[in-house]
Structure 1
Amino acid sequence: MEILVLCIDRDDDLGRKAGIESPVVGRAANVEATLSLGLADPEDSDVNTILGGIQVYDDFASQGRTVEIASVAGDPNVGLVSDGKIAHQIDYLLERFRPEGVVVVSDGAEDEAILPIIQSRVKVEGVKRVLVKQSHNLESTYYLLKQVFRDPKISHTFFIPIGLALLIYSTFSFLGRSDFAVVAILAAVGVYLLFRGLGLDDFIESTKETFKGNLYRGKVAFVTYVLAAVLVLIATIQGSARFWDYYTGDIWYGYIVLVMVFVNYSVWWYVAAAICVNLGKILDLYLEGGRDERSYTYHSYPFFIFATGLIFWSASAFILVNSAGVAFPLISGQSTQYLAASAILAIIIALVGVKISKRVVAGR
């Protein structure tokens, strides 16, 4: 076959809105898919993408060339997940039809981001971008912007920082401390950008899905997750309260000491929370009778978590004793020896965890 026309739907509107499984192969199947998607959402741009692909298909067919058309869809989680699904479908189509080249049809730059994936597998004969024509009057522009901002991917990125900044400014203005508002806004927006940039929103989303799955399947991990959340809350409150006591005290100790105060008074609560999560996973594995290679590493995690907590606690105590003069039983006066002993004990605990994990693996 000479040409394969590929219509790209990177965020899987075909599946989410029309319930159509991809890849959709053949002109008739794509016409039907376009009709189904158009009825589900007449304003979806992927409707025009597939229609544009059908037009390209008809042009090649009228020239007497052997051509086929297929629409491939990714995943609402645009990125590695969606691109992996599209790559798998493209491999299937190339194996099935063995085309000499492909023509890629998309509705914008986001879908065309997968071009390197396609080019690594087959020669790309051309790229056709299908854009919907809009009238240029003010009403149409307003409507277009309204539709754009209804997209969750855009609205979450655009509106949350602005709303957060306005909320912080109004709160500080109400409290009569407008001078702190700018600093607070910059800090909040900075944290939000780091949160999105480091992909922590995906981590929280996956944690939420895991939490819901544990609840629906009646797993012990659901209870341990709830307990861990409570312990994290206690840890944060405990550390913040002590942090505030030192911050508002008569003596200024410096930011490093304040951070060490937070760590020292909260670390064991965080350790307990992490161990609770891990124990829930271990109990579920035993109750289900399931075993896989990765599950055996869970047995060593509590030891590593405890050892890490011991190092953080002893290091923070050492800094507080030597910098702030805080009195700790058994530590004051011999903080260096205690720090060294804690480090050695942490290493021993970690080794015990490795040994137990190996025995569990050997006895499976």
Structure 2
Amino acid sequence: MDILVLCIDRDDDLGRKAGIESPVIGRVANVEATLALGLADPEDSDVNTILGGIQVYDDLTSQGKAVEIASVTGDPNVGLVSDGKIAHQIDGLIERFRPAGVVVVSDGAEDEAILPIIQSRVKVNGVRRVLVKQSHNLESTYYLLKQVFRDPKISHTFFIPIGLALLIYSTFSFIGRSDFAVMAILGAIGVYLLFRGLGLDDFIDSTKETFKGNLYRGRIAFITYVLAAVLVVIATIQGSTRFWDYYTGDIWYGYLVLLMVFVNQSVWWYVAAGICVNLGKILDLYLEGVGDERAYSYPFFIFATGLIFWSASVFILANSADMDFPLISGKSAGYLAASAALAILVALVGVKVSRKMAARR
């Protein structure tokens, strides 16, 4: 085959709005998919993308070339997840049709971000960007902005920081402490930006999907996730309560010491939560007959890490002046060394268990 016309829907509007599975192969199937998506959301730009792909298909066919058209979709979680799904579909299309080249059709730069993945697999003969024509009067500009802000990806990024700042300011004004409002707003927005920048929102979304999947498939991991969540709450309350006791005391110890108080009182609860999650995975793997020897070493590494953090907090607290804390103050250095050696030993045991399980496969 000469050319494969490839229409890209990176955020899976076809699947989410029209319930169509991808890849959609053939002119007739793509016309039907366009009609279904247009009826579900007439304003979706992917309607024009597929129509543009059909136009390219017709033009190439009229030139006597052997052409096929296919629409591939990704995932609402745009990024590694969506790109992986698209790459898997493209591999199947290349294996099936063996095209000499492809023409990529998209509705903008976001979809075209997938180009390097396509170019690593097949020759790209051209790129067609389909843009919807808009009049430039005030009414059209307002309508366009309205549609942009209705997009969840944009509205979540734009409105949440503004809404958070207004809520914090009104709260502090209500309690008569508006002098602290600016500081609180800057801190809250800083935490939000770190949250988004470090990708923790994607982590929470993936954890939520895993949680729902474990529930629907009746896995033991669902129970261990619930137990782990309870343990995390207990750990946070336990550490925060002790932190607050020393923070509001008569002596100021410094933030590092107070942080070590939090770690000392909460670390084992966090360790227990991590081990619970991994034990649930191990049990599910065992019941399903799936072998993943690395999973058996994770509890050992989690325990060893917790031991290091706990012993480090003991060492710092024991050597802090005027610190009234129940710990071994006279032998703190030796205690730290012994804990580090024990942590290394536990990690080695985890590696040994992992290799032994791998040898049984």
Aligned to 2:53: 53
User: Aligned partners of 2:207, 2:51: CA distance in 1, in Å?
Assistant: 39
Relative to structure 1, the CA distance from residue 215 to residue 262 in structure 2 (aligned partners, 3 Å threshold; closer, same or farther) is: same
Give the TM-score of the pair, scaled to structure 2: 0.91
Q: Give the drift of 1:228.
A: 1.5
Aligned to 1:231: 231
Q: Give the drift of 1:92.
A: 3.2
Query: For residue 304 of structure 2, what is the amino acid of its counterpart?
Result: A
Aligned to 1:333: 330
User: Aligned partners of 1:280, 1:9: CA distance in 2, in Å?
Assistant: 36
User: Aligned partners of 1:69, 1:357: CA distance in 2, in Å?
Assistant: 48
Partner-residue secondary structure (3-state), 1:205: helix
Partner-residue secondary structure (3-state), 1:323: coil
Aligned to 2:10: 10
CA contact (8 A) 1:321 1:327 kept: no
> Which of 350, 353, 359 lines up with 2:350 in the alignment?
353
Q: Give the drift of 1:186.
A: 1.9
Relative to structure 1, the CA distance from residue 4 to residue 145 in structure 2 (aligned partners, 3 Å threshold; closer, same or farther) is: same
**Structure 1, unpaired ranges of 5+:** none
> Which of 342, 360, 363 lines up with 2:339 in the alignment?
342
User: Aligned partners of 2:50, 2:332: CA distance in 1, in Å?
Assistant: 71
Q: Please, which moves more after superposition, 138-147 or 31-40? A: 138-147
Relative to structure 1, the CA distance from residue 179 to residue 285 in structure 2 (aligned partners, 3 Å threshold; closer, same or farther) is: same
Say whether residues 1:156 and 2:156 are aligned partners. yes
Aligned to 1:128: 128
User: Aligned partners of 2:49, 2:250: CA distance in 1, in Å?
Assistant: 67
Aligned to 2:43: 43
Q: Give the drift of 1:224.
A: 2.2
Aligned to 1:290: 289
Aligned to 1:268: 268
Partner-residue secondary structure (3-state), 2:319: helix
1:106-163 superposed Cα distances (whole Å, 9 cap, x missing partner)? 1111111112222233333322211112233333322222222221111111111111
Q: Give the drift of 1:289.
A: 5.4
Q: Please, which moves more after superposition, 195-204 or 121-130? A: 121-130
Give the alignment's Cα RMSD to 1 decimal: 2.3
User: Aligned partners of 1:345, 1:94: CA distance in 2, in Å?
Assistant: 53
Relative to structure 1, the CA distance from residue 166 to residue 69 in structure 2 (aligned partners, 3 Å threshold; closer, same or farther) is: same
Partner-residue secondary structure (3-state), 1:88: helix
Equivalent residues in 2 for 1:36-115, closer than 5 Å: 36-115=36-115
Query: For residue 228 of structure 1, what is the amino acid of its counterpart?
Result: A
Aligned to 1:305: 302
CA contact (8 A) 2:2 2:65 kept: yes
Q: Please, which moves more after superposition, 81-90 or 153-162? A: 81-90
Aligned to 2:259: 259
- Percentage of pairs with the same residue: 85
How many matched pairs?
A: 361
Relative to structure 1, the CA distance from residue 57 to residue 216 in structure 2 (aligned partners, 3 Å threshold; closer, same or farther) is: closer
Relative to structure 1, the CA distance from residue 131 to residue 285 in structure 2 (aligned partners, 3 Å threshold; closer, same or farther) is: closer
Relative to structure 1, the CA distance from residue 324 to residue 278 in structure 2 (aligned partners, 3 Å threshold; closer, same or farther) is: farther
User: Aligned partners of 1:257, 1:133: CA distance in 2, in Å?
Assistant: 62
Give the TM-score of the pair, scaled to structure 1: 0.90
Query: For residue 289 of structure 2, what is the amino acid of its counterpart?
Result: G
CA contact (8 A) 2:314 2:327 kept: no
CA contact (8 A) 2:100 2:123 kept: yes
CA contact (8 A) 1:257 1:324 kept: no
Q: Give the drift of 1:306.
A: 2.1
Query: For residue 308 of structure 1, what is the amino acid of its counterpart?
Result: T
Partner-residue secondary structure (3-state), 1:126: strand
CA contact (8 A) 1:49 1:105 kept: yes
Aligned to 1:322: 319
Query: For residue 135 of structure 2, what is the amino acid of its counterpart?
Result: S
Aligned to 2:197: 197
CA contact (8 A) 2:10 2:73 kept: yes
Relative to structure 1, the CA distance from residue 91 to residue 215 in structure 2 (aligned partners, 3 Å threshold; closer, same or farther) is: closer
**Structure 2, unpaired ranges of 5+:** none
Relative to structure 1, the CA distance from residue 299 to residue 178 in structure 2 (aligned partners, 3 Å threshold; closer, same or farther) is: same
User: Aligned partners of 1:170, 1:76: CA distance in 2, in Å?
Assistant: 34
Relative to structure 1, the CA distance from residue 97 to residue 279 in structure 2 (aligned partners, 3 Å threshold; closer, same or farther) is: closer
Q: Give the drift of 1:242.
A: 1.9
Q: Give the drift of 1:316.
A: 0.8
